[in-house]
A and B are shown apart, each in its own frame.
Chain A
Amino acid sequence: MPDEVVVTVNGSQVAVPAGATVAVAMMMAGKPCRTSVTGEPRGPLCGMGICFECRAMVNGVPHSRSCQILCESGMDVKTND
């Protein structure tokens, strides 16, 4: 298993440790996972899948809880508006 996985976050490539979650990839890229209903940038809060702040668009699927998804090579991740 490779040490690193490369995913795309908001169009830019990010290398993350193997086994890292998509939420971590977005934090490493410095991008918010989602934009709140009044336009605030938001990132992961609880780290355990219950706050829903980490919802991102993963491979075109909106509202994906990124802290519960492992990064896979080539994944396309975007801030969920």
Chain B
Amino acid sequence: MISDSREPFDVLVVGGGPAGIAAAVRAAETGARVGIVDENFAPGGQIWRSRPSEQEHTKEASKWRTRLNASGVTVLCGKRVFHQPQPGVLLAEGLDDLRELSYRTLILATGARERFLPFPGWTLPNVTGAGGLQAMVKSGLPIRGKRVVVAGTGPLLLAVAAYLRKQGAEIPLICEQASWSRLTRFGRFLMQHPQKIAQGLLLKKGLRGIPFEANSWPVAAHGETHLEAVTISHGGQCGAIKCDYLACGFHLVPNTELAVLLGCRTAGGYVQVNEFQQTTMESIFCAGEPTGIGGVELALTEGQIAGLAAVDRNSEARTLFRAREKHRRFARMLDETFCLRPELKSLASPQTLVCRCEDVPYSRLQEHTSWRAAKLHTRCGMGPCQGRICGPATQFLFKWSPDSVRPPVFPARVENLAALPVPEQPIAEVTGGLQ
């Protein structure tokens, strides 16, 4: 095991997306010793993920990247935090190593993941998340000339469609499950924000000519060994579209597992923080999507507040409060606009798998009255994804509340679970037989 420092980090940031980068930069610029740990190949998280061949960034992303590079932050990529064996120490696993990371103050910027809902055929290869397919293309997947149906809900669909189209994909349709009235209200809201208008116009340009339907969702994906077509419901009518990929995600859910493991309280599924982004654990802050899905501007603002507060620059942090409040209004608007309609609960047939790790079909889950009972008796949620895919789905389908979180928060190698970053304890007594 590699210990990354003789000295603990003053501030350790978990997650190298916009919130994490902003937090680390602001803290480091005050002279603190700061580290970022992220499991991807390079910082940027999901929204600022770069292609291997090109460096495509928005101006904002480039600005922050430059600042990060100049800030002296220690960036540890390709390492995934899975456990806190003792207070002030995190363990992170790489492909072939283990890191012990000590800190005085922690900032959790663990981002969000897509919500997946089951429908017949959703387990076919080439049915992917919306952000998921974008990430794959950025990881080298050729998409030129391929037909991609984009479906689900959320502003991510538009961003993904525009991006894929720019890479040469053909987009027969974007299916958004929200209603036109909600979308129109959202559009009007965006018009009040200059930044959003500019983004919106760019997006509109990128989406020119791509059919967009509201009140629309996938009903079934078809194919033998991989996706060949998808049936879409729109206004009560169904139609099949031949396609190579179905990029389908139903908005985002926050990655709160590490926060919960460390004892932070949550409310409504999000990490509770005070005005300085401090959680209910004194030395732990949280910024970005885990405190509320709100997009990149909110993440950057919250990240900066957390970074400054973590090094006791509270008055500087305060100067960002107003911007945060503005961005939080956007977050609330997102919640309202893209909430899931009840028809989506009926997409799964009895045989449709809900837990993909353990292949548990809808019919087997129906008999249970709680997540806990379902988990125990069907093993739904006991697979390697630890309920990250099926959990949000069953929450929506059955109103089940999730379990408590135990280490490891991600699967980790057995040898790494056995890491003990304290002076060697004598091996405990060995005792007899089966216990």
Q: Is there any pair of Cβ atoms, one from A and one from B, under 8 angstroms apart in the complex?
A: yes
A interface residues, Cβ below 8 angstroms from B: 16-21, 23-24, 27-28, 30, 32-33, 36-38, 40-53, 55, 63, 67-70
- Interface residues in B231-287 by Cβ distance below 8 A to A read none
Cα of A3 to Cα of B333 in the assembled complex, Å: 44
Q: B114 to chain A: which residues have CB within 8 Å? A: 46
Known: A28-B141, A30-B226, A69-B95. A44 touches B53 (CB 8 A): no
Contact B139 A45 (CB under 8 A): no
5 extra A-B contacts, CB within 8 A, seeds A43-B125, A52-B357: A20-B140, A41-B125, A43-B226, A47-B134, A67-B136
Distance between B247 CB and nearest chain A CB, rounded to angstroms: 10
Contact A23 B123 (CB under 8 A): no
Contact A46 B113 (CB under 8 A): yes
Taking the complex as formed, is B131 at the interface, i.e. its CB lies under 8 A from any CB of chain A? yes
Cα of A37 to Cα of B411 in the assembled complex, Å: 18
Contact A46 B356 (CB under 8 A): no
Distance between A55 CB and nearest chain B CB, rounded to angstroms: 8
Cα of A31 to Cα of B195 in the assembled complex, Å: 43
Taking the complex as formed, is B404 at the interface, i.e. its CB lies under 8 A from any CB of chain A? no
Known: A17-B140, A28-B142. A48 touches B135 (CB 8 A): yes
Cα of A19 to Cα of B51 in the assembled complex, Å: 8
Contact B358 A37 (CB under 8 A): yes
Taking the complex as formed, is B384 at the interface, i.e. its CB lies under 8 A from any CB of chain A? yes
- Among residues of B, the one whose C-beta sits closest to the C-beta of A32 is B125
Known: A46-B114, A48-B46. A67 touches B389 (CB 8 A): no
Cα of A67 to Cα of B134 in the assembled complex, Å: 13
Cα of A41 to Cα of B139 in the assembled complex, Å: 22
Cα of A27 to Cα of B137 in the assembled complex, Å: 11
Q: A42 to chain B: which residues have CB within 8 Å? A: 123, 125, 356
B interface residues, Cβ below 8 angstroms from A: 39-41, 46, 51-53, 78, 80, 95, 113-114, 116, 123-129, 131-136, 139-142, 225-226, 353, 356-359, 383-385, 388-389, 411
Distance between B169 CB and nearest chain A CB, rounded to angstroms: 14
Known: A37-B358, A41-B125. A19 touches B52 (CB 8 A): yes
Contact A19 B125 (CB under 8 A): no
- Closest 4 CB pairs between A and B? A19-B52, A20-B140, A43-B125, A47-B135
Interchain CB contact (< 8 A) of B132 among A21, A47, A68, A70: A47
Contact A45 B225 (CB under 8 A): no
Known: A44-B128, A69-B95. A51 touches B53 (CB 8 A): no
Cα of A41 to Cα of B40 in the assembled complex, Å: 26
- Among residues of B, the one whose C-beta sits closest to the C-beta of A68 is B39
Number of inter-chain CB pairs below 8 Å = 118
14 pairs across A/B with beta carbons < 8 Å? Answer: A18-B52, A21-B140, A27-B125, A28-B142, A33-B125, A36-B123, A36-B356, A37-B357, A38-B359, A40-B353, A45-B129, A47-B134, A53-B356, A68-B95
Known: A51-B388, A69-B95. A40 touches B383 (CB 8 A): no
Contact B385 A43 (CB under 8 A): no
Contact A70 B125 (CB under 8 A): no
With a 10 A CB-CB cut-off, give which of B51, B116, B125 has the most chain A CB atoms.
B125
- Among residues of A, the one whose C-beta sits closest to the C-beta of B51 is A19
Known: A20-B52, A40-B359. A47 touches B225 (CB 8 A): no
Cα of A27 to Cα of B245 in the assembled complex, Å: 11
Cα of A32 to Cα of B389 in the assembled complex, Å: 19
